[in-house]
Amino acid sequence: MNAKDKIYHERTFDDEKLTCPKCGWNGTGDQAHVAGFYGIGKFKEVLCPNCNEYLGNILREQSNGESGRLDSQIGEVL
């Protein structure tokens, strides 16, 4: 599957196994770089932490008004 077509789910992303096709990095979602766009779009971009190769997208889940829920990349979601 082409990385541009890969969509990860926000709730399970931290444990997702990732491999960079460019530099060969292997790791999990919590080790990858995530570009969050902070409310502008419904996706976050996933990037390789070694070479910044694009690895896919995370579908942002809508908050149900629950305070205290944590986003692993930016902290508490209010």
Q: Phi/psi at 21 (nearest 5 deg)?
A: -70, -20
* pLDDT in the model for residue 38: 65
The DSSP H or E segment spanning 71 is: strand 69-71
Residue 76: its pLDDT value, please?
47
Q: Are 19 and 31 spatial neighbours (Cβ–Cβ below 8 Å)?
A: no
Instruction: Please say if the pLDDT value at position 72 is more than 60.
Output: no
* More confident site: 51 or 77: 51
pLDDT digits (tens, 9 = 90+) for 11-62: 999 999 999 999 999 999 999 999 876 666 788 899 999 999 999 999 877 6
For position 52, what pLDDT does the model report? 95
- Identify the pLDDT of residue 78: 41
The dihedral sign for the CA sequence 24, 17, 78, 44: positive
